[in-house]
Amino acid sequence: MARMMAGMDIKASGNVDRDFATMMIAHHEGAIAMANAELHYGTNEQLHRIAQEIIVEQRQEIEAMQLVLQGSAP
């Protein structure tokens, strides 16, 4: 959580799109870390399925936002 919060604590660049993507990448990375913890330590099968879905979806969104930051997407 601390790493996620630190990643979201950025200085505004003046480019709302860039700032949004940068903070959301950190947020999604935190969600993936929490989902991995659930898969590793949790025992509830329903939560395991949700955690697996979170990992897949958040990784896809991170990749999309990284492309935007690199200028490869509109």
pLDDT digits (tens, 9 = 90+) for 23-37: 999 999 999 999 999
The alpha carbon of residue 32 and the mean position of all alpha carbons in its chain are separated, in whole angstroms, by: 6
Distances (CA, A) of 48 to 24, 30, 59: 23, 17, 17
CA distance 36 to 21: 22
Where the chain has pLDDT below 70, the residues are 1-2, 4-10, 72-74
Provide the b/e sequence for 37-50 (b: ≥16 CB within 10 Å). ebeeeeeeeeeeee
pLDDT of residue 13: 81
Could you tell me the pTM of the whole model? 0.82
What pLDDT shows up at residue 49? 98
In angstroms, rounded to a whole number, what is the distance separating the alpha carbons of residues 26 and 4?
A: 5
